[in-house]
Chain A
Amino acid sequence: MNTTSRRREQVIGLALPVAILVISLAVMFWALSDLPDPVAVHWGPAGTPDAFGSPLLAFILMPVTVLAYLALPARVLARAHDRGPTANQRILLAVGPFLSTVLGVVLAGGLAIQRGLDDAAAGPSILPVVALAFGGGIVVGVVSYLLLPAGPAVEAIPDAADLPARPLGVDETAVWIRQVRPVGAALAIILTAGAILFIAGATIVAFVQPIAVLLFVLPALLLVFGYACTYWTLTVDRHGVLLRGALTWPVIRIPLDQIESARVIDVDPLSDFGGWGLRWAPRTTGIIVRRGEALEVARRGRRTLVVTLDRAAPGAELLNALVLRQRGGVR
């Protein structure tokens, strides 16, 4: 990727939200000179003020929220993505200007409409400000997304013949089996803690209000699904690639004759896939449970599979050897 599109990503993803932040703060300072005391800090559903206090909170909330969010685009930009940003990365970058606009208009506008009032309770409705904030935020966000450079429409699929392959005898058969799991115990601890809290909550609720236990059915399914998508067994053999989730489900199978090549890549879960677990990115399905090394299995005309695990090279080399041998046998 060239430096101009890189520069454009920096301007839209970081400089623009910061500029909106600064302008909003300036408007808030300007409004500060002529505000009632206390000011309205909360409005009811009808748009009329229903809570009053110091304007200080707005001055803290605005920069803290925007700057905390900008840590994400900063991380995306710190990573070299030579082929241009993926759709996920463009969304992460465009959310900055959106968030900054919504917050800026609501907070600065909320103060500005109170200028010159003697009593904040008599202030005008906040609803036009909220409408302007979300309308403006969506426009700014969409335009930002569209202005960001797009990654290539179709990425060239490397040929197995150009990648490292394991030497394999004519009659030799081989299998590579690995566990796909998060680094260390961090995620296991989170999942276990989640399960314990969940069971405790459900138990308490069951005593107090038995019917409310139904509320826990969906979170329970999500927890089980999350667990099943976090621990996998990966098998590479003469049939191709087989992935089996922790509860022997889900099962993902890629027949050898669909596979074009395999290689080792480097994955950052948040910026490449927008998170962890079973993920869908453009043209790619990801089993993303950790940061770092990953096995990438490319298929012609179909979705690429990415599985995060360390020491993936022997698997990629075996897969390339199997692909080449099958090709040789077919032709």
Chain B
Amino acid sequence: MILTVDPASALPLFEQLVTGIRGQIIGGSLSAGERLPAARELAESLDINVHTVLRAYQILRDEGFLDLRRGRGAIVADRARDYDELARRVTQLVAEAQRLGLTPAALSSLIREAYE
């Protein structure tokens, strides 16, 4: 697993973490049952506040990607699998958007609209 956070980015730190971890679960480089580092360790590695990591973990739990258990840390949830098809289509979608010269912001706003 590789995670980066950039305090200079417009995106809040916890959201950068959520995006990074979620992307790797969907992309398949983090698989069900795998244990994530303890929040304290990850915060220390990335030089960020432990509450930022906990907040990211909680959001991912609410989205169903992680199981948080007292004393066992954060584990990639069982239901967080079978994203192969989605990952494939996202790649296609991005390729198509790039062909049409759409910015990432434009594509994500299209996706957001489709949800509403």
Contact = CB atoms under 8 A, between A and B. Distances in A.
Contacts of A175: 2-4, 37, 42, 45-46
B54 interface: no
B46 A174 contact: yes
Interface string A153-190: 00000000000000011111111111100000000000
A179 to B, nearest CB: 8
B47 A172 contact: no
Interface residues of A, number: 20
Nearest to A168: B4
A172 B45 contact: no
Interface string A16-59: 00000000000000000000000000000000000000000000
Contacts of A174: 2-5, 46
A171 B7 contact: yes
Contact of A176 (B1, B7, B8): B1
Contact of A173 (B1, B34, B46): B46
B6 interface: yes
A314 B4 contact: no
A237 interface: yes
A171 B8 contact: yes
Given A176-B1, A177-B1, A177-B37, A171 B46 contact: no
Interface residues of B, number: 17
A262 interface: no
Contacts of B3: 174-176
Given A235-B45, A237-B45, A238-B45, A172 B6 contact: yes
B2 A173 contact: no
B8 A172 contact: yes
A318 interface: yes
A250 to B, nearest CB: 18
A169 B8 contact: yes
A172 B4 CA distance: 7
Contacts of A318: 2
A238 B1 contact: no
B48 interface: yes
B64 to A, nearest CB: 22
Nearest to B47: A173
Given A237-B46, A238-B45, A176 B2 contact: yes
Interface in B1-39: 1-8, 29, 34, 37
A238 B34 CA distance: 23
B75 to A, nearest CB: 13
A169 B16 CA distance: 14
B12 to A, nearest CB: 15
Contacts of A177: 1-2, 37, 45
A198 B3 CA distance: 42
A91 to B, nearest CB: 38
B26 to A, nearest CB: 17
Nearest to B42: A175
B1 A178 contact: yes
Interface in B29-84: 29, 34, 37, 41-42, 45-48
A173 B48 contact: yes
Contacts of B47: 173, 238
A179 B35 CA distance: 10
Which of the listed residues A175, A179, A318 has the most CB atoms from chain B within 10 Å of its own CB?
A175
A255 to B, nearest CB: 14
A172 B11 CA distance: 13
Given A171-B6, A239-B45, 15 more contacts: A168-B4, A172-B6, A173-B4, A173-B5, A173-B45, A174-B2, A174-B5, A175-B3, A175-B4, A175-B37, A175-B42, A235-B41, A235-B45, A238-B45, A315-B2
Interface of B: 1-8, 29, 34, 37, 41-42, 45-48
8 contacts: A168-B4, A172-B5, A172-B6, A173-B46, A175-B46, A176-B3, A235-B37, A238-B45
Q: Which 6 A-B pairs have the closest CB atoms?
A: A237-B45, A175-B45, A174-B4, A172-B6, A173-B46, A176-B2
